[in-house]
Amino acid sequence: MSYLQKSPWIIHYDASSCNGCDIEVLACLTPLYDVERFGILNTGNPKHADIFVITGGVNEINKEVVQNIYEQMPHPKVVVAVGICACSGGVFKECYNISGGVATVIPVDVYVPGCAARPESIIDGIVQALGILEQKRNTMKAGAEGTV
């Protein structure tokens, strides 16, 4: 974790899950799993977030909300799809109102499968996202230095 330049902030959005994955995401914040030991903070404002953690399959009603949250986040940003519903649509994939997984609406960097995804898996996915975030930061920094 020493390669991180700042503490990453995450924003969590429940697209349309059964709340199983949401409970596990919140469990990551409890003292038992303590994701804050990595410097990760949960925020409610997408303009402050570096990592977008999303659970549940995307439906027609919240498709615009997901896109709006994603577009409000500053660059670089990483998206983590938590749970099988966020990854592929899960058991609701064939429902009339489900568009599918998160990748049908926005680009996804890390997939954390499971029904419900375990807190250990979620933390592992977020740590992977931290590496991707730092790579994107370095790429942006190199691109900005090349234009000056």
> What does DSSP assign to residue 7?
-
Give the pLDDT confidence of 63-87 residue by residue, as tens digits: 999 999 999 999 999 999 999 989 9
What is the average pLDDT across 112-116? 90
Q: Is residue 17 a contact partner of residue 83, using CB atoms and an 8 Å limit?
A: yes
Strands (E), the chain: 9-14, 41-42, 51-55, 58-59, 78-82, 98-100, 110-112
The residues that bridge with 58 in the sheet, in sequence order, are 100
Q: Is residue 66 a contact partner of residue 59, using CB atoms and an 8 Å limit?
A: no
pLDDT beyond 70 at 1: no
**Dihedral in degrees, nearest 10, Cα atoms 126, 132, 137, 142:** 170
pLDDT beyond 70 at 147: no
pLDDT beyond 70 at 122: yes
